[in-house]
Chains A and B, each alone.
Chain A
């Protein structure tokens, strides 16, 4: 009596419902399990399908009292652990248990009574008491005259899918909590810098420090969604850093793809773009009414020395706007140099054109 023990697929070694192969010849199945036999013209095909499918299937007779199972295929026996004589003649509810949701069971009863098709996930129990999530699909089967003959139920063990979904949800909740706490932390840091500047009478300096810290915060904020990957989408970080300088979304144009980078490069990148935006606001394209900026990013450089290249192109700056060297304190140059990158600036009649580059340190995709 080993018919409830499936042959697992040899190549994979997996033994779940999807990877369980039943006897591959209908003849052998028929010989060993005459109860799987069906009469009729397409009987052989139907029989082969029923015997070999990994989808657990049962047929219930709606014309007998308590709608008993009249047929269950091999996959059904394999899934539930019951033998045929323990299945046939009983109502399907022997699969239910303490954690089966009452509301779902009501929907199943209602669907059977009203000859509806229903797809639900319900907690069921095997003969050995172990629970599994059953993706149950049930519906009426009519004969050629449209008379109801069976209720068909197909069962699929989706416990793994449910677990994966739960893990994913948990990870998402965690990332959101982390994001919330980080934003709060940056708000607190901003508060400290502000009131320290105020009581010391150095509000201007404090504001400058704060703007840099908050730019860093925005650059990092985008990393949380991807925290499991270890890399950041460069475009998302760039958009987040520059968002406050373009509240209407009309002054800064973004051109780039899904290039990713390591966290450390993003902090330098974020702060550099923040400084360029502050300068543009004071002296460049953002100081005129109709000026705008194009920010383009791409991967560049040799295969053994890949880099992120950013083109910062200002258009419509006021004529005669002072060509500010490297900002007031050269901080952009120093940050980029420290990251083993650099910046080259040119000015034309439209304003500043800067080319930034920074090495891609990870082998980011």
Chain B
């Protein structure tokens, strides 16, 4: 079961970042359905606080957060900690080169929430094998 952390035996914590609450709600359910514990963030500040205060196993990051903000800082932090993440975006073409170069898995919007979560958890499954 990918949802359980191998060392703690507790559900894996998954950060979900999106500036659209309705998408966040959908993804939160989907993370729960996958047996993990969702930690949701509506903006950069919330996301960075979650990353700092929790042991995250994986993350789903909306790229464009409104007002010209992108998830780059969060992605960079996660990449530095070796935590896998997917970039969930409606505009792959316009996606910031800096964000793209960080190397997260790209998942285009719209993709069913269950599929987004499955893609986010893929690296954990491989790791646990």
Give the B-binding residues of A (Cβ under 8 A).
Answer: 176, 179-181, 183-184, 186-188, 190-192, 194-195, 198, 210, 214, 217
Give the A-binding residues of B (Cβ under 8 A).
Answer: 20, 22-23, 25-27, 29-30, 64, 90-91, 93-94, 108-110, 112-113
- Contact call A184/B90, Cβ cutoff below 8 A: yes
Query: Could you tell me the distance in whole angstroms from the C-beta of B85 to the nearest C-beta in chain A?
Result: 18
- Contact call B22/A179, Cβ cutoff below 8 A: no
- Of A190, A191, A210, the most chain B CB neighbours within 10 A belong to A191
Give the number of A-B contacts (CB < 8 Å): 54
- List of B residues within 8 angstroms of A198 by Cβ: 29
Q: A194-B29, A195-B29 are in contact. Are A187 and B109 (CB under 8 A)?
A: yes
- List of A residues within 8 angstroms of B112 by Cβ: 190, 194, 210, 214
Tell me which of B26, B27, B29, B90 contacts A183 (CB under 8 A).
B90
- Contact call A179/B29, Cβ cutoff below 8 A: no
Tell me which of A176, A184, A194, A217 contacts B20 (CB under 8 A).
A184
Q: A210-B112, A214-B110, A214-B112 are in contact. Are A188 and B94 (CB under 8 A)?
A: no
- Contact call B20/A190, Cβ cutoff below 8 A: no
- Contact call A176/B94, Cβ cutoff below 8 A: yes
- List of A residues within 8 angstroms of B27 by Cβ: 191
- Contact call B22/A186, Cβ cutoff below 8 A: no
- List of A residues within 8 angstroms of B22 by Cβ: 188, 191-192, 195
- List of A residues within 8 angstroms of B108 by Cβ: 183
Alpha-carbon gap, A214 to B113, bound state (A): 12
- Contact call B110/A194, Cβ cutoff below 8 A: no
Alpha-carbon gap, A299 to B25, bound state (A): 44
Query: Could you tell me the distance in whole angstroms from the C-beta of A148 to the nearest C-beta in chain B?
Result: 44
- List of A residues within 8 angstroms of B91 by Cβ: 176, 179-180, 183
Q: A194-B29, A214-B110 are in contact. Are A187 and B23 (CB under 8 A)?
A: yes
Write 16 A-B pairs (CB below 8 A) sorted by A numbering.
Answer: A176-B93, A183-B108, A183-B110, A184-B90, A184-B109, A187-B20, A187-B109, A188-B20, A188-B23, A190-B110, A190-B112, A191-B23, A191-B26, A191-B27, A195-B25, A210-B112
- List of B residues within 8 angstroms of A214 by Cβ: 110, 112
Closest to A190 in B: B110
- Contact call A191/B25, Cβ cutoff below 8 A: yes
Closest to B91 in A: A180
Q: A190-B112, A217-B110 are in contact. Are A180 and B25 (CB under 8 A)?
A: no
- List of B residues within 8 angstroms of A187 by Cβ: 20, 23, 90, 109-110
